Amino acid sequence: MSDDIHYLSLLEVSERIRRRQLTSEEVTLWLLERIRRLDPLLHAYLLVLPDAALAEARAADRDIAAGRWHGPLHGVPLGIKDLLWMQGVPTTAGMPLLRDFRPAEDATVVRRLRRAGAVLIGKLNMSEGAIYEHHALLPRPFNPWSRAHHPGFSSSGSAIATVAGMCYGAIASDSAGSIRLPCAANGVTGIKPTWGRVSRAGVMPLAESLDTVGAIARSVGDAAAILQVISGYDSDDPTSLADPVPEYASVLDRGVGGLAMGVDWRLAQQETDVEVWRAFQGAVDSFRRLGVEVRDVTLPDFDAITTAITPLLVMELVAAHEKYFPEHADQYGPGLRGMLEGARYGALEVVRSYQAKDRFSGQLRAAIAGCDFIVLPALSQVMPTWEEFEALALHRGRLSRRLLHLTMPFNVAGVPTLSLPAGWTASGLPIGVQLATQRLGESLLCRAGVAFQQATDAHLRRPTLRS
């Protein structure tokens, strides 16, 4: 096998396995060895499952040899964020408190991946309770582009493992930016689908009205292949959407000529670093060259809704932890414990949050009604260093203002977003942009993202890693 098999696209390695040019077992062994060498440096995984993964790989090879191919994920190693249940496998949600919790069943997403023949190679690192700090008793994940810089919020392990070639894609979740921020920090692609498009049954909650399960991969086509499998109604999750799931692959090569893209130039430039602004303008120009009409739009107040949603988010967080907190408060890290201890919002404040959520959602729909999709930076500044992040974490308002004000509003509205690598700083750090559109517009976003990645190369860069 070639030395860069770990950096084949998901779809390419899938096709080689389907044609039996490679076996799933060979590919899985290759990645397990790469994880053994590199993960002690990166800490993308909380738990690697070599025996189970190899058993799944061998089963995939037998099925494919017998002519039973289950689709593009069949035999392909993927990572699972550690807040999704896997039967009999420790599932911690980044909380040492839960290190002995072994679910009796799979999350619906995991069950769908198994049915598609995916090889589930391990459980991925994440921040405690999917909030912003990693618990001190668990290994700190490192950004493969710069160990000094933070790797993003709760789906950090999913992004690190993907960009480092330790899986071909990963399941992630996003309640305020936890797919888009790790994608921007690590130079990978991510889809946060419409709220309810993917079942949350068997997924440990953060804030249920904002939580969304999605996919991280190295390209839009790869992420769309994962989304295809995990999407759809689930009777175990009554909030999941019954709308039919389209064939995402069928639209990927249609191009974007004639589409209209909205840009709120004031919001995009607000407090934005020079290098981020330059990369954002370059992304807009790339779409323009592809035949997209660029239209000015005025989006509703992102800062105001990021503040207004706080009582709802915090009190839903309290509900998610009522089984463990405050009884086991001493086992919580300071960040999450502080949020739970400081939760003093009353019913009226939560009601006002819900009302603000509804108003903002309607305002956003109206603002983007005159275009097919919109584009914004994922972060107005590059991801901070660990030292800067820890200083910000002492002041949660400043942390939200610095990192979440361009991402959380799309969770509030429940609309889909697509994260794309768009450039690099002079020091070699990734810069990301995000596309967003109306509810259930994932096909359109994937179509636009594929066209963008066919015309650009930011998503093709790989970190230099040595064990």
The active-site residue, picked from 14, 81, 199, 419, is 81
d(CA 28, CA 20): 14
Are 81 and 173 in contact by the 8 Å Cβ rule? The answer is yes
User: What is the secondary structure of 204-269 as a DSSP string?
Assistant: --S-TTT-EEEEEESSHHHHHHHHHHHBS-BTTBTTS--SPPP-GGGGTTS--TT-EEEE-HHHHH
d(CA 381, CA 136): 26
The length of the chain, given as a count of residues:
467
Distances (CA, A) of 382 to 71, 363, 427, 431: 37, 29, 11, 7
- Encoding tokens for residue 77? 């190693």
The active-site residue, picked from 146, 155, 173, 178, is 178
Distances (CA, A) of 131 to 48, 101, 127, 462: 23, 19, 6, 28
Span between the terminal Cα atoms of the chain, in Å:
20
Active site residue 154: yes
Q: How many CB atoms lie within 10 A of CB 210?
A: 21
- Encoding tokens for residue 445? 């976003």
Classified as helix, coil or strand, 302 is helix
Q: Helices 108-115 and 220-230: crossing angle, nearest 10°? A: 110
The active-site residue, picked from 127, 146, 154, 419, is 154
Contacts with 332 (C-beta within 8 Å, 6 or more apart), sequence order? 95, 97, 128, 325, 340
Distances (CA, A) of 153 to 158, 263, 403: 10, 26, 9
Active site residue 361: no
Q: Which long-range contacts (CB under 8 A, 24 or more apart) does 54-59 make?
A: 54/25, 54/28, 54/29, 56/24, 56/28, 56/114, 56/117, 56/118, 56/119, 56/120, 57/23, 57/24, 57/25, 57/27, 57/28, 57/119, 58/24, 58/25, 59/117
Active site residue 250: no
Distances (CA, A) of 277 to 18, 185, 188, 354: 42, 16, 19, 33
d(CA 25, CA 36): 16
What residues act catalytically? 81, 154, 178
